[in-house]
C-alpha cells in the first residue's frame, strides 16, 4: 500500500493547494451531528457495491476463502448466501448490467439509465426524512471508483422512487471532498453590498423554483420531482454560500489529484485499461476515508459507494499481499495471453469453473473484499463510536452486494442466483455474526430489511405478495 | 350525438381519432378530437345540465329558476330569463383554449324570436356584461361573437358578426372558429357566413370566469329559445369537420349500435397495438418471426399468425380453447426456456383472443416495444451543455463555451442520446456552475446596451418603467411572457440595488444574472398538467420546440414575433421551418445528432493496442470524427441527398493523415474531398474509421454486427440462450473472424440470433480494428467481404458480393430510411419512442419520404407532426 490511513482529524492535512475554501471543519468535527440531537443515533443506510461478484460455490467456503478479509468484522455482519436475483434479468441485455441495476433495487432496469425502482437507501431515507434531511447535509452521497461506463446502471447504486439516478456520482476523491466539504468559491468575500445583491439574485431564483414545485406548477409529477431536486440543490448551495462561516486560517487543503483515468478516458470503447494495483487501492482507500469521514461528521446519512463497475475491464498488474503473505501476482493481460478487452480480469469470471482452482478470480475477489472491509473498518473504529455505545457500522444499515453469483453469461438463472449479500445490524434490527443460507429472492430480503427499518413502502410490483424472511431479523 | 353518450365512449373515440387520424372516423359521427365541453340537454329533469364531453372534470351547469325552462325531447326550452351556469370557473376550457390559442364554439339552437339583442347571450364565458373571454350571442337578426385577445378590449370588442338577416327562428347550427393565427369565421348550417381577423394572443384571458348559457352570468342579457346542443373545442375545426357536425344533426344522428361497434373496435385496436403486440414481441418472436419460424409458425404478421404452424391454428379468433398459442402458454410449454408470461399478460392475451383477436398492424416490429415501460412519463427537458451554450450565445451574445464545458457536468448518454430528458439530472455542481456562468456571462456583456433593446428609460423605480422593462427583457431571456408574479419577484433585485444607492446598470446586471439561473432558462418549461390526453402546445412552447429541435437553441426574434402574433399554425410553422433550415445553426444541430447517434465522443478515448497498431496516433481519432461530421454535412446539406445515402455516398472528406490510413493518395493540406467511386470497399459511413473502431482491436464481428443491427436497422435480439460459451474466440492461422462467426451461425444454439447480425459485418471484415483496409489478417488469412443481409422482419437473407453491394443494399432499404426517421425523431423529442408514438412516426416517415427523404424534409415532417404540435398531459383533473 502506498497510501497511509487518514483519520478524521488529520485526513485533509495532505498535499494540494487550498484552492477551495473549507467550511468550519473544526466546528463540524466538534459537533458530530448537524441535525441529530447529541444523544440520538441517526438512521442511516448505505449501499456498497463491488463489481464482478463472488461465484456462489466460493461463498460456501466461508471466511476460509475469498471472504477472509471480512472475518475481523464477522460479528458485525450478516452474510447472506443463496439470494436469488433472477427477476432482475431483462432479456436482450447482458446480466452484468441487469444484476448491477438489480443490486439494492431487486428490479430489472427500466431503460439504459434508469433502475426499475428505488434503492434500499432511498426508501429508508424517504421513510425517516420525508421532509428532507437537516440543513447542511448532503441528501445522498454517491461515490465510487469505476471505469466501465457504457450504462450508468453498471456503477450507480442509489436510485430515486421513480428509478432515476438519486445523485451525481463522485468518482474522484477531490470531487467527493468538494461535494461534502466544499464551500462555494467567491462567496466568502468581504464586499457586503455585493453579497447583498447576490443574495437578492438567489432569492429570486429560489422563488422561481419554488413556484415550479408548488401547487400551481404547470409541470407533471416526474418533471416536478426533477425541479424539486434542483431546488434542494439550490438550498444546499445557498447554505454553503451564505450560511457557513469562512474557513479558518491554515485550514487543511484538498486531497491530492487522482492519478487514475476518469471520465471518458477511463473506458476507451470497452477495451479496458492497464491498472497498477497500488494506484487502484490507493485511490480506493482515499475515497473510502473521505466517505467514512463524511459519515462520521454527520454530513451524509444515505448513499452508495462503488468498488468497480459491473463487468469492469481492467488489466491489473502488481503483487497482492494480505496479512503479510503474498496472495497473488496480478498480471491479467499476460496470464490471459491477450490484449484489449480480452486481456482484462473480467475474463476470469467468464472462465470460472467449479472443478478448477480459479486462482486469478479468487485473488481478485479476495482483494476487493479487503477493500470493502477497509471501508467498513473506517466506520467501526474509536472515531466512529456513538452515544449508544455502538459504532456507526453497527448502527447503520449497510448493504453490501454485487452483480452476479456466477461469471458465466450463458445461463441467467445461474448467473443471477446466489448473489453475495451482507448487511450490518442497523442498530439491532437485524441479526449479525452469522453466515446464513437465506434461500430467498432478493426482493423479499430487501423488503424484509425495509420492514425492519420501519418503512411501509415495498420494492417490486404492487400486486406481488410480500414474503417476509424473518430469519434475518433480530 | 347519441343521447346519454357516456363519458367513456367519448374518451375511447377521442383516443381512436388521435391514434388513427380523424379521417378514420365514420363520416356521420361528430368530431370529438379537441372537445372540451359538451351539453346535449338529454336530462329528463332536474336543475342540472350535464357536461357529457367525458373530458376532465365535468363542467355541469345549474339552472337557477327551473320554472323558467322546460325540458323537451333532448332539448331545453328557455321560456323566460334565468341563469344556467357553472358553479366554478370553467378552468378546463380556459386552460385548454389559452394554451392552444384556438377555439370552436358550436350550438344547435332555435331562437325564440329575431328581436332579442344585447347581444343576447347564447353561450358565454364571462364575469359581467363588460368583461369576458368570449360570448356567442344573438343581436336581433344576426349572430355576434365577442372574443377577447390582447388586441381587443376586455369585452372582446371588436366582435365578429354574421350578415344581417342571417339568423332564422328555426333549428340552426351555428359555429364560431378562431385559429391560432387569429382568423375567425362564423358558420351557419355548415356554410361560412362571416369572419375577420381577431389578432392577438390569449395571455390576458381571465381564469375565474364561469360558463353560462342563455344569459350573462349576472343576468341582464337573456336569450330565449330552444337549446339542442352546445359544444366547445380547444381547436378550430376545419370547414369539413364543421360540415360533418352539421350533417350529424342536432341530435348527433348516430346509430348506437355503430357507436358500440366503433367503441369495441377502438378498444381492441388499442389493446392489440400497445399490449398484445408487445407481449408477442417480447415473448414469442425470438423463435416465431419470419426468419426463424420455428414449428412453421410466424407470429409477426397477421396472415401467417392466423394461418398457424405445423401443429395447427395458433390463434382462433373468439375461441380460446381452440387456440394452440393459448394452450401452449397456459401449459407452460411456451415460451421455451424463457420467462413465462405474467398473470396480467395472460389475461391480456386471453381477452384479446376472446374479443376477436383484432390484428391492426402490418407487422409486429420488436423495436417498437423496446421502451414499452416508459410510455407514461413526461419529463421536463433541462438544456444540455451544448444547448445551454447556444442559448446563452443567442440570448445575450456571449460565447461561454469554454467555461461551460469546463465546469458543467457532462450529459451522459441514455438510450443512445445525450439529450434524453429523464437522464438530465441535476447536481450541486450544476447549481454552482450556472451561478458562476451567469456571473461570467454578465461580466462580458455591455449590460446597458443590452437593456436598451427593451427600454429607453434608465429609471430604477418599479413604479415607473422598471416593471415593463423586466417583463420585456424577461420575455426574451425566458422565451415567453412573464406573469405578474414573476415580474414582481424579479423587481426585488432592482429594489435592493436602488436601496443601496447603486445605479441602473448594476440592477440590470443582477437581473440578467438572476434570469440566467431561472428554471425557465435552464429548463424548457411547458404545461404538462391536463386531462391525460394530448393537448395542443401553446405558441411560445411551440416556438421553443421548433428552435431547440432545429437549432438546439432558443427562438430568434422572428420566431418570437410569430408566436406573439399567433402565426404558428401549420402554414406558419412551415414557413418558419423553411427559414430556420437555411440557418447555419440547423447544420450544427444536425451534426449533434450524428455525433450522438454514432457515439463519436467515444473516439476521444480510444486506446488501441500499441503493439498491434504501432501507427495509431491520438490525432487520427479526432480526424476520424471530423471525417464523419464533414461527410454528413456534404451529403445532407451540400448535396441535399436522402439521409439513407449516408450509407453508400461515394465521397469523403479527410485529412492527409487519414487519407493515407485509408490507402488514398493524400492530396494537399487540411481536409480534402475525395471521390471514392473507384476505391474498392470504401464509401459510406459504415466504412469510416469512426464507426469501424466500434469493433475493438479484434474487429469483432459480433460488436460490429450488433451495431449495424441496433443502430442502423433498429433490430432486436435477445440474450444468448443457456449453455453457450460466450467468451470471444481469438483468430489464428486458418481461422478468421468470419470463420468464427460462421461456426457460431452454424451452431443450433447460437445461429437463430447470430444469423441476424453477424452477416451484417461480413462486408466489413477487410477493415481492421482501426479501420484500415487489408486483404489478409495478421495471420496471413485471406479475408472476404461477401455475405448476406437479413433485414429485421424479413424471412430471407439477401446475398451481396462485396462491401459496396452491402452498402447499396442498406442505402436503398426501407428499413434504413425508417430507422433514420426513428432516430432523428427520438433526438428531436429528447425521449425514447414508445408504441403509442408508432402511428405518428409512420406518418412522419411517409411524409418525409414523399418529400425526398432528406434531413430537411424529415425535420419538417417531425415538427409539423402531432408529436411536436401536441403534448402529452398528465391527468390532474
Which residue, A208, A223, A243, sits at the end of a domain?
Answer: A243
Three-class DSSP labels, A358-426: CHHHHHHHHHHHHHHHHHHHHCCCHHHECCCCCEHHHHCEEEEEECCCCCCCCCHHHHCCCCCEEEECC
Do A79 and A164 reside in the same domain of the chain? Answer: yes
CB contact B613 to A (< 8 Å): no
**Which residues make beta-bridge pairs with B529?**
B874
Least confident interval from A139-143, A151-155, B19-23, B272-276:
B19-23
Count the domains in chain B: 4
Which residue, A193, A223, A243, sits at the end of a domain?
Answer: A243
**pLDDT at site A96:** 80
Asked if residue A4 has pLDDT above 80, the reply is no
Testing the interface with B: which of A150, A193, A197, A346 to mutate, by most B Cβ within 10 A? Answer: A197
Do A222 and A205 reside in the same domain of the chain? Answer: yes
Do A219 and A354 reside in the same domain of the chain? Answer: no
The parent domain of residue B696 ranges over 646-813
Do B406 and B501 reside in the same domain of the chain? Answer: yes
pLDDT > 90 fraction of chain B, expressed in percent and rounded: 63
**pLDDT at site A12:** 39
Asked if residue B1 has pLDDT above 70, the reply is no
Asked if residue A10 has pLDDT above 90, the reply is no
Do A400 and A353 reside in the same domain of the chain? Answer: yes
Q: What span, in angstroms and rounded, lies between the C-alpha atoms of B137 and B158? A: 14
Q: What span, in angstroms and rounded, lies between the C-alpha atoms of B503 and A241? A: 25
Taking only residues 273 to 332 of chain B, the set having a beta carbon closer than 8 angstroms to any beta carbon of chain A reads 282
In this structure, the strands spanning B534-536 and B120-128 are unpaired
Instruction: Band the pLDDT of B421: cuts 50, 70, 90.
Output: very high
Do B138 and B224 reside in the same domain of the chain? Answer: yes
User: What is the number of other CB atoms lying within 10 angstroms of the CB of residue B550?
Assistant: 25
Comparing CA positions, the residue from B197, B107, B186, B198 lying closest to residue B142 is B186
CA B381 to chain A, closest CA, distance in angstroms equals: 8
Asked if residue A15 has pLDDT above 80, the reply is no
DSSP string, A82-109: EEE-GGG--TTS-HHHHHHHHTTT-S--
Residues of B with Cβ-Cβ distance to A221 under 8 angstroms: 874
Cβ atoms of A355 and A380 closer than 8 Å: no
User: What is the number of other CB atoms lying within 10 angstroms of the CB of residue B462?
Assistant: 18
Q: Dump pLDDT digits (tens) for A263-281.
A: 777 888 778 899 999 999 9
Do B98 and B207 reside in the same domain of the chain? Answer: yes
**Which residues make beta-bridge pairs with A397?**
A45
Asked if residue B6 has pLDDT above 70, the reply is no
Do B185 and B115 reside in the same domain of the chain? Answer: yes
Do A281 and A236 reside in the same domain of the chain? Answer: no
Residues of B with Cβ-Cβ distance to A342 under 8 angstroms: 698, 728, 730
Asked if residue B670 has pLDDT above 70, the reply is yes
Is B371 part of any domain? Answer: no
**pLDDT at site A14:** 34
Q: What span, in angstroms and rounded, lies between the C-alpha atoms of A208 and B483? A: 12
Residues of A with Cβ-Cβ distance to B409 under 8 angstroms: 168
Do A171 and A198 reside in the same domain of the chain? Answer: no
Is B804 part of any domain? Answer: yes
- Could you give the C-alpha distances from B46 to A148, B63, B771, B809, in angstroms and in order? 70, 9, 80, 70
Asked if residue A282 has pLDDT above 80, the reply is yes
CA A238 to chain B, closest CA, distance in angstroms equals: 10
Do B318 and B420 reside in the same domain of the chain? Answer: no
Which residue, B364, B393, B408, sits at the end of a domain?
Answer: B364
CA A271 to chain B, closest CA, distance in angstroms equals: 7
Nine-digit cell string for A313: 475491464
**pLDDT at site B373:** 55
Do B359 and B385 reside in the same domain of the chain? Answer: no
**pLDDT at site B25:** 44
Q: What span, in angstroms and rounded, lies between the C-alpha atoms of A43 and A127? A: 10
Q: Is B608 helix (H, G, I), strand (E, B) or coil?
A: coil
Three-class DSSP labels, A278-303: HHHHHHHHHHHHHHHHHHHCCCECEE
Chains A and B: how many Cβ contacts under 8 Å?
A: 216
Do B62 and B196 reside in the same domain of the chain? Answer: yes
**Residue contact A265–B422, C-beta within 8 A:** no
Nine-digit cell string for B577: 421551418
**DSSP-assigned letter for residue B645:** G
CA A325 to chain B, closest CA, distance in angstroms equals: 33
Is A438 part of any domain? Answer: yes
- For residue A375, the domain's CATH number is 3.40.720
Cβ atoms of A407 and A415 closer than 8 Å: yes
Asked if residue B80 has pLDDT above 80, the reply is yes
Asked if residue A398 has pLDDT above 50, the reply is yes
Cβ atoms of B605 and A264 closer than 8 Å: yes
**pLDDT at site B405:** 97
Cβ atoms of A40 and A202 closer than 8 Å: no
CB contact A234 to B (< 8 Å): yes
Instruction: Band the pLDDT of B724: cuts 50, 70, 90.
Output: low
Is A15 part of any domain? Answer: no
CB contact A195 to B (< 8 Å): no
Asked if residue A16 has pLDDT above 50, the reply is no
Q: What span, in angstroms and rounded, lies between the C-alpha atoms of B758 and B788? A: 10
Q: What is the ipTM of this complex?
A: 0.80
Testing the interface with B: which of A185, A336, A340, A344 to mutate, by most B Cβ within 10 A? Answer: A340
Task: Collect all residues with Cβ–Cβ distance below 8 Å to A288 and sequence separation of at least 6.
Answer: A305, A371, A374, A375, A378
Region B252-278: mean pLDDT is 72
CB contact B784 to A (< 8 Å): no
Residues of B with Cβ-Cβ distance to A112 under 8 angstroms: 413-416, 423
Do B282 and B385 reside in the same domain of the chain? Answer: no
Of B506, B519, B602, the CB nearest to A209: B519
Is B560 part of any domain? Answer: no
Asked if residue A6 has pLDDT above 60, the reply is no
Q: What span, in angstroms and rounded, lies between the C-alpha atoms of B318 and B172? A: 46
**Residue contact A223–B339, C-beta within 8 A:** no
Do B207 and B74 reside in the same domain of the chain? Answer: yes
CB contact B380 to A (< 8 Å): yes
Rg of the Cα trace of chain A? 22
**pLDDT at site A408:** 77
Asked if residue B14 has pLDDT above 50, the reply is no
Do B353 and B412 reside in the same domain of the chain? Answer: no
Q: Dump pLDDT digits (tens) for B436-464.
A: 999 999 999 999 999 999 998 888 776 66
Do A203 and A325 reside in the same domain of the chain? Answer: no
Do A329 and A225 reside in the same domain of the chain? Answer: no
Is B748 part of any domain? Answer: yes
Do A148 and A211 reside in the same domain of the chain? Answer: no
Q: What is the mean pLDDT of chain A?
A: 85
CB contact A141 to B (< 8 Å): no
Region A114-138: mean pLDDT is 92
Cβ atoms of B35 and B29 closer than 8 Å: no
Is A82 part of any domain? Answer: yes
Among chain B residues, CA nearest to A116:
B373
CB contact A233 to B (< 8 Å): yes
What backbone torsions phi and psi does residue B186 show, to the nearest 5 degrees? -110, 135
**DSSP-assigned letter for residue A9:** T
Q: Dump pLDDT digits (tens) for B168-219.
A: 999 999 999 998 878 899 999 999 998 898 988 888 899 899 999 999 999 9
Region A128-152: mean pLDDT is 89
Taking only residues 102 to 121 of chain B, the set having a beta carbon closer than 8 angstroms to any beta carbon of chain A reads none
Q: What span, in angstroms and rounded, lies between the C-alpha atoms of A318 and A330? A: 5
Do A207 and A169 reside in the same domain of the chain? Answer: no
CB contact A334 to B (< 8 Å): no
Residues of B with Cβ-Cβ distance to A20 under 8 angstroms: none
Instruction: Band the pLDDT of B93: cuts 50, 70, 90.
Output: very high
**Residue contact B694–A269, C-beta within 8 A:** yes
Is A17 part of any domain? Answer: no
Is B596 part of any domain? Answer: no
Task: Collect all residues with Cβ–Cβ distance below 8 Å to A159 and sequence separation of at least 6.
Answer: A104, A105, A114, A115, A117, A118, A119, A122, A165, A166
Comparing CA positions, the residue from A427, A391, A424, A384 lying closest to residue A32 is A384
Residues of A with Cβ-Cβ distance to B698 under 8 angstroms: 340, 342
Region B312-322: mean pLDDT is 93
CA A347 to chain B, closest CA, distance in angstroms equals: 8
Least confident interval from B150-159, B595-604, B751-760, B856-865:
B751-760
Is B201 part of any domain? Answer: yes
Q: What span, in angstroms and rounded, lies between the C-alpha atoms of B162 and A111? A: 56
Asked if residue A368 has pLDDT above 70, the reply is yes
Taking only residues 356 to 385 of chain A, the set having a beta carbon closer than 8 angstroms to any beta carbon of chain B reads none
Do A203 and A342 reside in the same domain of the chain? Answer: no
Q: What span, in angstroms and rounded, lies between the C-alpha atoms of B787 and B804? A: 11
Among chain B residues, CA nearest to A218:
B527
Which residue, B200, B222, B254, sits at the end of a domain?
Answer: B254
**DSSP-assigned letter for residue B418:** T
Do B239 and B308 reside in the same domain of the chain? Answer: no
**pLDDT at site B16:** 37
**pLDDT at site A149:** 79
Asked if residue A249 has pLDDT above 80, the reply is no
- Per the model's pLDDT, the better-predicted residue between B567 and B103 turns out to be B103
**pLDDT at site B258:** 59
- Could you give the C-alpha distances from B22 to B15, B179, B629, in angstroms and in order? 10, 18, 41
**Residue contact A179–B728, C-beta within 8 A:** no
**Residue contact A205–B338, C-beta within 8 A:** no
**Residue contact A113–B420, C-beta within 8 A:** yes
Comparing CA positions, the residue from B498, B487, B709 lying closest to residue A208 is B487
Testing the interface with A: which of B480, B499, B514 to mutate, by most A Cβ within 10 A? Answer: B514
Is the C-alpha dihedral spanning A120, A121, A125, A126 positive or negative?
negative
CA B677 to chain A, closest CA, distance in angstroms equals: 31
Cβ atoms of A122 and A302 closer than 8 Å: yes
**Residue contact A179–B428, C-beta within 8 A:** yes
**pLDDT at site A184:** 62
Q: What span, in angstroms and rounded, lies between the C-alpha atoms of A82 and A54? A: 12
Q: What is the mean pLDDT of chain B?
A: 89
Comparing CA positions, the residue from B65, B212, B66 lying closest to residue B128 is B212
Cβ atoms of B785 and B763 closer than 8 Å: yes
CA dihedral B562, B564, B565, B571 (to 10 degrees): 30
Task: Please return the burial class of B713, using the count of CB atoms within 10 Å of its CB with bins 0-12, 13-18 and 19+.
Answer: buried
Which residue, B813, B828, B858, sits at the end of a domain?
Answer: B813
CB contact B372 to A (< 8 Å): no
Q: What span, in angstroms and rounded, lies between the C-alpha atoms of B257 and B535? A: 30
Taking only residues 616 to 635 of chain B, the set having a beta carbon closer than 8 angstroms to any beta carbon of chain A reads none
**pLDDT at site B735:** 92
Residues of B with Cβ-Cβ distance to A273 under 8 angstroms: 607
Region B301-322: mean pLDDT is 92
Comparing CA positions, the residue from B395, B502, B492 lying closest to residue B450 is B395
Is A197 part of any domain? Answer: yes
Asked if residue B409 has pLDDT above 90, the reply is yes
Residues of B with Cβ-Cβ distance to A268 under 8 angstroms: 605-607
Of B380, B607, B832, the CB nearest to A223: B380
Cβ atoms of B32 and B44 closer than 8 Å: no
Testing the interface with B: which of A189, A200, A212 to mutate, by most B Cβ within 10 A? Answer: A200
Is A77 part of any domain? Answer: yes
Count the domains in chain A: 2
Cβ atoms of B832 and B826 closer than 8 Å: yes
Of A113, A341, A413, the CB nearest to B412: A113
CB contact A137 to B (< 8 Å): no
Is A129 part of any domain? Answer: yes
pLDDT > 70 fraction of chain A, expressed in percent and rounded: 86
The parent domain of residue A195 ranges over 184-243
Nine-digit cell string for B488: 414582481
Do B325 and B293 reside in the same domain of the chain? Answer: yes
Least confident interval from A46-55, B556-565, B721-730, B739-748:
B721-730
Taking only residues 184 to 203 of chain B, the set having a beta carbon closer than 8 angstroms to any beta carbon of chain A reads none
Amino acid at each position: 500500500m502506498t497510501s497511509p490511513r487518514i483519520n478524521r482529524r488529520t485526513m485533509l492535512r495532505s498535499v494540494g493547494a487550498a484552492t477551495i475554501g473549507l467550511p468550519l471543519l473544526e466546528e463540524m468535527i466538534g459537533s458530530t451531528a448537524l441535525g441529530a440531537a447529541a444523544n440520538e443515533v441517526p438512521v442511516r443506510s448505505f449501499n456498497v457495491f463491488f463489481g464482478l461478484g463472488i461465484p456462489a460455490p466460493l461463498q460456501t467456503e466461508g471466511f476460509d476463502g475469498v471472504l477472509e478479509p471480512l472475518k475481523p468484522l464477522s460479528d458485525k455482519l450478516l452474510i447472506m448466501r443463496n439470494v436469488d436475483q433472477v427477476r432482475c434479468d431483462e432479456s436482450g441485455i447482458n446480466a452484468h448490467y441487469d444484476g448491477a441495476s438489480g443490486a439494492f433495487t431487486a428490479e430489472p432496469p427500466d431503460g439504459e439509465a434508469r433502475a426499475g425502482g428505488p434503492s434500499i437507501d432511498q426508501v429508508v431515507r424517504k421513510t425517516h426524512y420525508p421532509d428532507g434531511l437537516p440543513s447542511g447535509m448532503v441528501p445522498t452521497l454517491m461515490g465510487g471508483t469505476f471505469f466501465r461506463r457504457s450504462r450508468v446502471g453498471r456503477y450507480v447504486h442509489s436510485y430515486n422512487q421513480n428509478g432515476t439516478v438519486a445523485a451525481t456520482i463522485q468518482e474522484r476523491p477531490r470531487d467527493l471532498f468538494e461535494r461534502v466539504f466544499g464551500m462555494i468559491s467567491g462567496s466568502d468575500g468581504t464586499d457586503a453590498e455585493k453579497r447583498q445583491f447576490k443574495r437578492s439574485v438567489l432569492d429570486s431564483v429560489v422563488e422561481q423554483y419554488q413556484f415550479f414545485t408548488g401547487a400551481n406548477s404547470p409541470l407533471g409529477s416526474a418533471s416536478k420531482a426533477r425541479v424539486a431536486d434542483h431546488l434542494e440543490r439550490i438550498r444546499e448551495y445557498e447554505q454553503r454560500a451564505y450560511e457557513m462561516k469562512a474557513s479558518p486560517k491554515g485550514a487543511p487543503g484538498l486531497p491530492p489529484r487522482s492519478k487514475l483515468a476518469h471520465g471518458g478516458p477511463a473506458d476507451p470503447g470497452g477495451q479496458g485499461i492497464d491498472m497498477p494495483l497500488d494506484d487502484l487501492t490507493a485511490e480506493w482507500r482515499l475515497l473510502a476515508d473521505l466517505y467514512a469521514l463524511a459519515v462520521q461528521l454527520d454530513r451524509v446519512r444515505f448513499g452508495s459507494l462503488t468498488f468497480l463497475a459491473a463487468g469492469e475491464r481492467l488489466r491489473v498488474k502488481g503483487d497482492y499481499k494480505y496479512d503479510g503473505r503474498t496472495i497473488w501476482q496480478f498480471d491479467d493481460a499476460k496470464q490471459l495471453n491477450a490484449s484489449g478487452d480480452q486481456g482484462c480480469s473480467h475474463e476470469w469470471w467468464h472462465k470460472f469453473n467449479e472443478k478448477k482452482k480459479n486462482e486469478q478470480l479468487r485473488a481478485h475477489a479476495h482483494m476487493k473484499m479487503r477493500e470493502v472491509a477497509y471501508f467498513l473498518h473506517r466506520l467501526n473504529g474509536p472515531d466512529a463510536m456513538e452515544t449508544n455505545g455502538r459504532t456507526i457500522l453497527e448502527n447503520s444499515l449497510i448493504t453490501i452486494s454485487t452483480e452476479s453469483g456466477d461469471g458465466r453469461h450463458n445461463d441467467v438463472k445461474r448467473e443471477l442466483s446466489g448473489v453475495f449479500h451482507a448487511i450490518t445490524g442497523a442498530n439491532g434490527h437485524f441479526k449479525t455474526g452469522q453466515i446464513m443460507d437465506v434461500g430467498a429472492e432478493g426482493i423479499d430480503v430487501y423488503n424484509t430489511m425495509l420492514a425492519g427499518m420501519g418503512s411501509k413502502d415495498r420494492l417490486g410490483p404492487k400486486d406481488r405478495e410480500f414474503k417476509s424472511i424473518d430469519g434475518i431479523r433480530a | 350525438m347519441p343521447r346519454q353518450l357516456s363519458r367513456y365512449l367519448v374518451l375511447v373515440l377521442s383516443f381512436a381519432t388521435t391514434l388513427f387520424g380523424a379521417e378514420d372516423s365514420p363520416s356521420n359521427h361528430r368530431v370529438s378530437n379537441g372537445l372540451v365541453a359538451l351539453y346535449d340537454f338529454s336530462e329528463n329533469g332536474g336543475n342540472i345540465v350535464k357536461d357529457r364531453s367525458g373530458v376532465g372534470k365535468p363542467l355541469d351547469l345549474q339552472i337557477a329558476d327551473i320554472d323558467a325552462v322546460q325540458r323537451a325531447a333532448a332539448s331545453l326550452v328557455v321560456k323566460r330569463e334565468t341563469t344556467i351556469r357553472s358553479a366554478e370557473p370553467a378552468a378546463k376550457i380556459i386552460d385548454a383554449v389559452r394554451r392552444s390559442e384556438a377555439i370552436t364554439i358550436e350550438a344547435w339552437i332555435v331562437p325564440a324570436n329575431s328581436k332579442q339583442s344585447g347581444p343576447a347571450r347564447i353561450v358565454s364565458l364571462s364575469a359581467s356584461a363588460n368583461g369576458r373571454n368570449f360570448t356567442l350571442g344573438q343581436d336581433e337578426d344576426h349572430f355576434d361573437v365577442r372574443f377577447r385577445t390582447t388586441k381587443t378590449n376586455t369585452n372582446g370588442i371588436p366582435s365578429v358578426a354574421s350578415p344581417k338577416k342571417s339568423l332564422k327562428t328555426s333549428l340552426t347550427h351555428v359555429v364560431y372558429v378562431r385559429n391560432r393565427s387569429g382568423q375567425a369565421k362564423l358558420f351557419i348550417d355548415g356554410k361560412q357566413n362571416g369572419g375577420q381577423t381577431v389578432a392577438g394572443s390569449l395571455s390576458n384571458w381571465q381564469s375565474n370566469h364561469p360558463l353560462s348559457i342563455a344569459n350573462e352570468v349576472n343576468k341582464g342579457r337573456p336569450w330565449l329559445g330552444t337549446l339542442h346542443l352546445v359544444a366547445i373545442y380547444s381547436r378550430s375545426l376545419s370547414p369539413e369537420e364543421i360540415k360533418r357536425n352539421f350533417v350529424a344533426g342536432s341530435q348527433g344522428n348516430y346509430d348506437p349500435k355503430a357507436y358500440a361497434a366503433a367503441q369495441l373496435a377502438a378498444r381492441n385496436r388499442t389493446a392489440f397495438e400497445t399490449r398484445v403486440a408487445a407481449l408477442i414481441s417480447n415473448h414469442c418472436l425470438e423463435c416465431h418471426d419470419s426468419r426463424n419460424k420455428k414449428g412453421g409458425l410466424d407470429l409477426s404478421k397477421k396472415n401467417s399468425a392466423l394461418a398457424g404452424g405445423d401443429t395447427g391454428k395458433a390463434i382462433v379468433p373468439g375461441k380460446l380453447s381452440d387456440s394452440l398459442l393459448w394452450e401452449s402458454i397456459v401449459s407452460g410449454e411456451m415460451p421455451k426456456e424463457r420467462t413465462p408470461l405474467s398473470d396480467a399478460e395472460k389475461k391480456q392475451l386471453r381477452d384479446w383472443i376472446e374479443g376477436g383477436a383484432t390484428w391492426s398492424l402490418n407487422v409486429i416490429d420488436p423495436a417498437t416495444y423496446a421502451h414499452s415501460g416508459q410510455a407514461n412519463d413526461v419529463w421536463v427537458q433541462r438544456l444540455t451543455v451544448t444547448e445551454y451554450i447556444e442559448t446563452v450565445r443567442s440570448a445575450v451574445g456571449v460565447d461561454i463555451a469554454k467555461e461551460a464545458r469546463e465546469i458543467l457536468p457532462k450529459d451522459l448518454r441514455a438510450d443512445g442520446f445525450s439529450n434524453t430528458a429523464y437522464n438530465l439530472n441535476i447536481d450541486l455542481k450544476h447549481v454552482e456552475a450556472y451561478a458562476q456562468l451567469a456571473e461570467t456571462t454578465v461580466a462580458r456583456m455591455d449590460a446597458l446596451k443590452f437593456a436598451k433593446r427593451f427600454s429607453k428609460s434608465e429609471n430604477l423605480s418599479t413604479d415607473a418603467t422598471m416593471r415593463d422593462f423586466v417583463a420585456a427583457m424577461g420575455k426574451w431571456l425566458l422565451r415567453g411572457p412573464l406573469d405578474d408574479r414573476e415580474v414582481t419577484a424579479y423587481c426585488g433585485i432592482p429594489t435592493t440595488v436602488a436601496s443601496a444607492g447603486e445605479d441602473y446598470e448594476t440592477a440590470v446586471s443582477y437581473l440578467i444574472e438572476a434570469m440566467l439561473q431561472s428554471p425557465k432558462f435552464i429548463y424548457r418549461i411547458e404545461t404538462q398538467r391536463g386531462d391525460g390526453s394530448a393537448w395542443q402546445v401553446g405558441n411560445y412552447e411551440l416556438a421553443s420546440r421548433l428552435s431547440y429541435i432545429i437549432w438546439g437553441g432558443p427562438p430568434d426574434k422572428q420566431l418570437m414575433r410569430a408566436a406573439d402574433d399567433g402565426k404558428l399554425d401549420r402554414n406558419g410553422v412551415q414557413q418558419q421551418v423553411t427559414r430556420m433550415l437555411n440557418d447555419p445553426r440547423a447544420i450544427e444541430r444536425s451534426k449533434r445528432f450524428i455525433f450522438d447517434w454514432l457515439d463519436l465522443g467515444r473516439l476521444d478515448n480510444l486506446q488501441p493496442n500499441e503493439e498491434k497498431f504501432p501507427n495509431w496516433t491520438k490525432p487520427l481519432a479526432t480526424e476520424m470524427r471530423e471525417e464523419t461530421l464533414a461527410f454528413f454535412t456534404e451529403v445532407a446539406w451540400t448535396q441535399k441527398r436522402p439521409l439513407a445515402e449516408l450509407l453508400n455516398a461515394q465521397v469523403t472528406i479527410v485529412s492527409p493523415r487519414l487519407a493515407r490510413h485509408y490507402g488514398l493518395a493524400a492530396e494537399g493540406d487540411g481536409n480534402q474531398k475525395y471521390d471514392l467511386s473507384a476505391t474498392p470497399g470504401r464509401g459510406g459511413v459504415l466504412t469510416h474509421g469512426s464507426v469501424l473502431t466500434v469493433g475493438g482491436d479484434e474487429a469483432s464481428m459480433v460488436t460490429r454486427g450488433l451495431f449495424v443491427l441496433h443502430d442502423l436497422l433498429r433490430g432486436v435480439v435477445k440474450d444468448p440462450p443457456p449453455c453457450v460459451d460466450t467468451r470471444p474466440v481469438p483468430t489464428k492461422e486458418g481461422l478468421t473472424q468470419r470463420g468464427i462467426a460462421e461456426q457460431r451461425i452454424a451452431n443450433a444454439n447460437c445461429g437463430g440470433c447470430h444469423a441476424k447480425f453477424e452477416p451484417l459485418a461480413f462486408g466489413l471484415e477487410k477493415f481492421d480494428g482501426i479501420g484500415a483496409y487489408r486483404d489478409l489478417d495478421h495471420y496471413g488469412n485471406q479475408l472476404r467481404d461477401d455475405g448476406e443481409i437479413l433485414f429485421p422482419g424479413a424471412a430471407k437473407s439477401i446475398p451481396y458480393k462485396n462491401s459496396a453491394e452491402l452498402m447499396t443494399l442498406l442505402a436503398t432499404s426501407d428499413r434504413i430510411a425508417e430507422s433514420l426517421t426513428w432516430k432523428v425523431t427520438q433526438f428531436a423529442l429528447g425521449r425514447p419512442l414508445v408504441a403509442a408514438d408508432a402511428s405518428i412516426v409512420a406518418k412522419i416517415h411517409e411524409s418525409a419520404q414523399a418529400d425526398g427523404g432528406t434531413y430537411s424534409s424529415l425535420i419538417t415532417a417531425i415538427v409539423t407532426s402531432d408529436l411536436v404540435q401536441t403534448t402529452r398531459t398528465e391527468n390532474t383533473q
